Structure formats: structure tokens, C-alpha cells
């Protein structure tokens, strides 16, 4: 039996003021096509269906069309959980009725112990458990416990599942769990919203190792951590410039009779790619005229030293979907962040001198340097912890 695992659709997302709905409609068509081609028994969406708790109406309409095609036309059940971006209650509207037509929504702990069971003529049942997005507060409120971080909250929930499985399910069944969480040590991107402010948001992959497959959502890069069967499918589209090198796609998971599984990452081809291009304005304009993919969403890094008159307008003529423009001083092609790291490595006196020069257009005198040096020495002596960090 096969399932298609995807997550983090973020329908309705705006990327640097550009609505991505058209790109999302395009990529969902590809996901539907992959589900049909691979003859999967279900499609799993591991949270962050929408980009916000109150999604725009056209994002709701897009989800409606997608589900209708998958379930109504192709007879493929869809199993979704809420993510940290979703409004769980709204997303869960009608879930009790909809499960009879093949749409399974896990948005509240009321449904935790009611898995979706997929049966085949031959082979064991595939039992799919959905954990709605949960932070410690939700878990504490619902189960009247006192968990303090994401690890202990998820532990409480997975423990409940394991106990329930041990009591009610024969050993021959294959168990899949869906969770929207941050596995410790996994790679992050700029388009994920932190799960907790200042708190511990990570959970250990060990919590999920005893399920036969864990379909994870939240991190936007396809990856696994610690166990190959505890896996993020990643988002189907690049939602930030930090993701330009990601290979976006879906996971097709095939289950064998011995409860092991095979995982295939199937890449998706977006309508418009997300790219970063760097160079002098004149070169980029010439290159853009010949670029067959000039409709991609691009971030332009300009290396010109001289001031330019409205480079955005001229770039937009060749790259109509330019979303961002940054200027980099071409110190052997170094980027802003590389430069700021180099700046941080300089001495305090040099940094102060730079600032003084920028403000007054002259350098510090020897006398001023001496006074500043005395102040800096005094500061370093009174704060031993700070000075040891600098060393
Ligand atoms: Mn997400």
C-alpha cells in the first residue's frame, strides 16, 4: 500500500507582497497528478494547510477545489492535521460529517484515538493517527496535566497513542502517525514561524521511532533526522529566498508486508522558480533579455559601486516578478552577511573609528583614541564575562 505525504501548503501565502495563489493552484495540480500516477491509497497533509488562521476566500476556494478533485473525482481519501499557522477550530469545521466522504481532519484531541484505517485485500491494515498541532498549553488544558515544553507535551500525547495501540491493535497492523513539530537538529528555513517565543520548541525524534512511519510537517525542507522513517516531506514550493537550493517535492511511501517502508522523494516542477541572481546592473539586464525563465521570482544582488537611478524599474522590465533588490559591495563577491561577520571580527576601536568617520567625515585623533582606549579597558576589566566571550 502507498501513501503520498506532503505538508506546509500555506495556501494564501504572500511572498514579499506577491500572492502565490496561482503558483499554489499549479503545484496542487501536480500533487494530484502524482497521487493518481502512483495509485496511492491516501494523501496526507501534515499541517499548515493555510498560511493564516483566517485565510483569504480564494485560498479556501482553492482548497475546496483540490479536495473535490482528489476525493470526489479520483476517490483518494485525504488526511490532514492542523499546523501552527492554521486556525484549528475553523479548519476542523464539519470534520465529523466529512470523514464519511473521505476527508479526515485532525484538529482537536477529541479525534486523537480515532485513526483512519486503510485496508487491503491482502496484507495488513494501515492505521493512520493524526496529532493536531499542539503546544504545551493545549495539552495541559485538554488533558489536565502540567507539561512545560514541547518535548513533554508531545511525549504525553505519543504515550497515549502507544498505550492505546498496545491495548487495541494486533501486532500485524502498520502504524503511521502525523505530527506538526520541530525535531531537534533538523534544518530550518526563513519561512517557518517559531513554535515558541524564547521557549524550547524542539522534540526528540525518539518520540516517533516506534511508529512504522511518521509524516512530519513544519520544517520546509524535505529531510529526516535520526531515523529515515521519521520524515519531513517539506513544502511543495519555496516560500523564502533561504530555500533557493531546496529540492521541493512530495514523499511517496510504500509499505511492505513486514511493516517496513520505502520512501521516494518525487520532485515537483513549479510554475515559477525562486532564484537569487547577482552581478552588475548592465550585465543582469542583458542576461535577463535572454533568460527563458525570466518570469521566476528573483532576488537581485547588485554589485555596482556607483549610485544607480531606480534600478528596480529597469530590472522589472526584464524580470517582471523581481521580489527583492539588495546591494552588495563587491569585495570578491562577498554578501552582506559575510561582510557583517568580517566587521564583527574587527576591534572595537576600528568600529568606533568607522562610525566617527561616517558621522563627521574625519578620523579619531590620537588624543581621542587614548581617551576611548581607557574607557574600553575599564569596561573590559569590570565585566570579565564579556571580555572572556570576546577572547
Ligand atoms: Mn509551515
Classified as helix, coil or strand, 81 is strand
What confidence score (pLDDT) does residue 121 get? Answer: 67
pLDDT in the model for residue 307: 82
Q: How many helices (H) and strands (E) does the chain have?
A: 12, 19
Grid coordinates representing 53?
Answer: 488562521
Dihedral sign of CA atoms 216, 217, 223, 226 in order? negative
The CATH homologous superfamily of the domain defined by 2-267 = Metallo-dependent phosphatases (3.60.21.10)
172 Cα: distance to centroid of ligand 1 (angstroms): 34
Beta pairing partners, 232: 216, 223
Topology of domain 274-336, CATH? Double Stranded RNA Binding Domain (3.30.160)
pLDDT for position 331: 56
At 158-174, the pLDDT tens digits run 999 999 999 998 788 99
- Percent of the chain exceeding pLDDT 70 equals 93
How many angstroms is it from 217 CA to the middle of ligand 1? Answer: 7
Give me the mean pLDDT over the 174-188 stretch: 92
**Mean pLDDT throughout 212-241?**
95
Q: How many A from CA of 259 to the centre of ligand 1? A: 29
Q: What's the gap in Å between 86 CA and the centre of ligand 1?
A: 9
Cβ partners under 8 Å of residue 244, min gap 6: 238, 274, 275, 276
Least confident of 48-57, 90-99, 295-304, 380-389: 380-389
**Pair type for strands 249-255 and 261-267:** antiparallel
Q: How far apart are CA 152 and CA 368, in angstroms?
A: 56
The predicted structure's pLDDT at residue 10:
97
User: Cα(378)–Cα(190) distance, rounded to whole angstroms?
Assistant: 40
Domain residue ranges of the chain, discontinuous segments joined by +: 2-267, 274-336, 346-390
- What is the whole-number distance in angstroms between the Cα of residue 231 and the centre of ligand 1? 14
Cα dihedral: 40, 45, 51, 54 (round 10): 110
- Mean of the pLDDT values across residues 351-374? 84
CB atoms within 10 A of CB 84: 22
How many residues would you count in the chain? 391
Q: How confident is the model at residue 343 (pLDDT cuts 50, 70, 90)?
A: low
Flag whether pLDDT at 111 surpasses 90: yes
The alpha carbon of 203 and the centre of ligand 1 are apart by a number of angstroms equal to: 16
Residue of 84, 207, 196, 215 lying closest to 151 (CA atoms): 207
Taking residues 83-90, report their average pLDDT.
92
pLDDT at 335 over 70: no
* Ligand 1 centroid distance, CA of 20 (Å): 15
Query: What is the C-alpha to C-alpha distance for residues 191 and 287, in angstroms, rounded to an integer?
Result: 29
2-267 and 274-336 agree in CATH topology:
no
Among residues 103, 149, 151, the alpha carbon closest in space to that of 130 is found at 103
| Residue range 191-200: mean pLDDT, rounded | 76
Report the pLDDT averaged over residues 335-362. Answer: 73
Q: Contact, 155 vs 207, CB < 8 A?
A: yes
Cα of 313 vs centre of ligand 1, distance in Å, is: 32
Angle subtended at Cα 96 by Cα 94 and Cα 101, rounded to the nearest 5 degrees: 85
Q: Residue 251: its pLDDT value, please? A: 97
pLDDT value at residue 391: 45
**What is the overall mean pLDDT for the chain?**
90
Q: Which three three-digit cell numbers place residue 283?
A: 550585465
Phi and psi at 202, nearest 5°, equal: -85, 150
Distance CA 353, CA 317 (A): 42
List C-alpha distances in Å: 92 to 80, 133, 195, 281: 10, 12, 21, 50
pLDDT > 70? residue 341: no
In the predicted structure, residue 387 carries a pLDDT above the cut 60: no
Q: What is the mean pLDDT of residues 271-295?
A: 95
Rounded to the nearest 5 percent, the helix, strand and coil shares of the chain are 35, 25, 40
Amino acid at each position: 500500500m502507498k501513501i503520498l505525504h506532503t505538508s506546509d501548503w500555506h495556501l494564501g501565502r504572500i511572498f514579499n507582497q506577491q500572492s502565490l495563489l496561482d503558483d499554489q493552484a499549479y503545484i496542487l495540480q501536480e500533487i494530484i497528478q502524482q497521487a493518481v500516477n502512483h495509485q496511492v491509497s491516501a494523501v496526507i497533509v501534515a499541517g499548515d494547510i493555510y498560511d493564516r488562521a483566517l485565510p483569504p476566500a480564494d485560498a479556501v476556494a482553492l482548497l475546496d477545489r483540490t479536495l473535490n478533485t482528489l476525493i470526489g473525482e479520483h476517490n483518494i481519501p485525504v488526511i490532514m492535521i492542523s499546523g501552527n499557522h492554521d486556525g484549528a477550530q475553523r479548519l476542523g469545521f464539519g470534520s465529523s460529517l466529512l470523514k464519511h466522504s473521505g476527508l479526515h481532519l485532525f484538529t482537536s484531541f477529541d479525534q486523537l484515538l480515532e485513526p483512519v484505517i486503510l485496508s487491503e485485500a491482502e496484507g495488513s491494515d494501515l492505521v493512520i493517527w493524526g496529532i493536531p498541532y499542539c503546544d504545551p498549553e493545549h495539552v495541559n488544558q485538554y488533558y489536565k496535566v502540567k507539561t512545560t515544553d514541547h518535548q513533554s507535551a508531545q511525549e504525553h500525547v505519543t504515550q497515549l497513542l502507544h498505550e492505546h495501540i498496545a491495548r487495541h491493535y494486533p501486532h500485524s497492523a502498520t502504524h503511521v502517525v502525523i505530527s506538526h513539530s520541530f525535531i531537534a537538529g533538523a534544518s530550518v528555513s526563513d519561512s517557518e514561524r517559531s513554535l515558541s517565543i524564547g521557549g524550547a520548541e524542539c522534540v526528540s525524534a525518539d518520540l516517533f521511532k516506534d511508529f512504522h512511519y511518521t509524516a512530519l510537517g513544519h520544517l520546509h525542507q524535505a529531510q529526516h533526522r535520526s531515523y529515515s522513517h521519521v520524515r519531513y516531506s517539506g513544502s511543495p514550493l519555496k516560500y523564502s529566498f533561504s530555500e533557493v537550493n531546496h529540492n521541493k517535492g512530495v514523499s511517496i511511501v510504500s509499505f511492505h508486508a513486514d511493516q517496513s517502508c520505502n520512501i521516494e522523494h518525487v520532485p515537483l516542477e513549479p510554475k515559477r522558480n525562486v532564484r537569487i541572481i547577482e552581478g552588475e546592473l548592465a550585465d543582469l539586464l542583458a542576461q535577463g533579455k535572454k533568460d527563458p525563465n525570466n518570469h521566476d521570482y528573483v532576488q537581485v544582488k547588485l554589485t555596482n559601486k556607483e549610485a544607480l537611478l531606480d534600478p528596480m524599474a529597469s530590472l522589472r522590465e526584464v524580470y517582471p516578478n523581481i521580489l527583492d533588490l539588495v546591494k552588495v559591495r563587491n569585495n570578491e563577491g562577498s554578501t552582506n552577511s559575510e561582510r557583517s561577520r568580517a566587521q564583527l571580527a574587527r576591534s572595537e576601536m576600528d568600529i568606533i573609528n568607522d562610525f566617527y568617520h561616517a558621522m563627521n567625515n574625519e578620523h579619531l585623533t590620537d588624543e581621542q583614541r587614548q581617551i576611548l582606549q581607557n574607557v574600553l579597558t575599564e569596561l573590559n576589566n569590570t565585566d570579565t564575562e564579556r571580555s572572556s566571550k570576546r577572547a
